[in-house]
Amino acid sequence: MTSPALSIIIPAYNEEALIASTLEGLRTYLAARPEQYELIVVDDGSQDNTLDAVRRWQECNEVELRLLANPQNRGKGFSIRRGVLESRGQFIIFIDADLPYELEAIAGFLNALQNGCDLAIGSRVLPGSQVKGVPVLRFISGQIFSLMVQTVLFPGLPDTQCGFKSFKAAAAREIFRRLTIDGFGFDVEMLYVARRLRFAIQPVPVRMIDHRHRSRVRLIVDSFKMFTNLFMVRWNDLRGKYK
């Protein structure tokens, strides 16, 4: 079987209501592009009918789709890591399951990757980006977290948490096989490792056009965990875990 040029990873947890429309949106956009692609849905131990919804959509569409099912809920970071390490594409992209970003950013990602960058990551704060529908408190907390990342770990990437990122496959595998964080803090660890390995990172403006009414992020609990993750990453590095 010929390896696809592009692997799209969608981590999903209790996405029964949205997953079919997300897959259809990706299929429609990618059908107009020249690259052969695969979709990889990683179900993170959903307690609803997400698995059945993906299988029903797959039966009705001639698309290369793989469904990976975690037997229990392990976290977004674990699910994306699993998808990356089992992907076959030359370029790898992951995106949130509610598809909150305009997919035209994929063209910007691929352009950056094909012109020398190892990672092209979505940024919601660059000129040309747009954010709609994010609650004010969540937006402010995200900006505070980004400032903490730049203070504790590394400067220069003011939006680490955008759920739309891309990689050359070789770089992605070198990065993700070193990661230890299973939850929402994995983005920071991933970017820290990428910088430590001296991979070239290019932020790309994205347009966030929708935001789920009920986010999976628990603002207080997950924010605290993500804050402690910053120091965990630093400690892991001191112990040589990222070599």
Determine the pLDDT at residue 223. Answer: 66
Provide the whole-model pTM. 0.91
Which sequence spans correspond to the domains of the chain? Answer: 6-238
Give CA–CA dist 120/197, Å, rounded.
15
The distance of Cα 34 from the centroid of its chain, to the nearest Å, equals 23
- 166-221 pLDDT, tens digit each: 999 999 999 999 999 999 889 999 999 999 999 999 999 999 986 554 555 554 55
Beta pairing class for 130-131 and 91-95:
unpaired
Question: Rounded to an integer, what distance in angstroms lies between the CA atom of residue 130 and that of residue 139?
Answer: 13
Q: Spelled out in words, what is the top-level CATH class assigned to the domain 6-238? A: alpha beta
For the segment 96-114, the average pLDDT, to the nearest whole number, is 96
CA distance to 40, 112, 221, per residue, from 130 (Å): 27, 20, 27
Q: Are 46 and 16 in contact (CB under 8 A)?
A: yes
Q: Are strands 91-95 and 164-168 parallel, antiparallel or unpaired?
A: antiparallel
* Radius of gyration in angstroms for the set of CA atoms belonging to the chain, rounded to a whole number: 17
The 10s digit of each residue's pLDDT in 26-56 is 999 999 999 999 999 999 999 999 999 999 9
Q: What pLDDT, on a 0 to 100 scale, did the predictor assign at position 215?
A: 53
CB atoms within 10 A of CB 70: 17
Helices 169-176 and 186-196 cross at an angle (nearest 10°) of 110
d(CA 160, CA 191): 8
Determine the pLDDT at residue 14: 96
Q: Please provide the distance, in angstroms rounded to a whole number, between the alpha carbons at the two ends of the chain.
A: 34
Q: How confident is the model at residue 165 (pLDDT cuts 50, 70, 90)?
A: very high
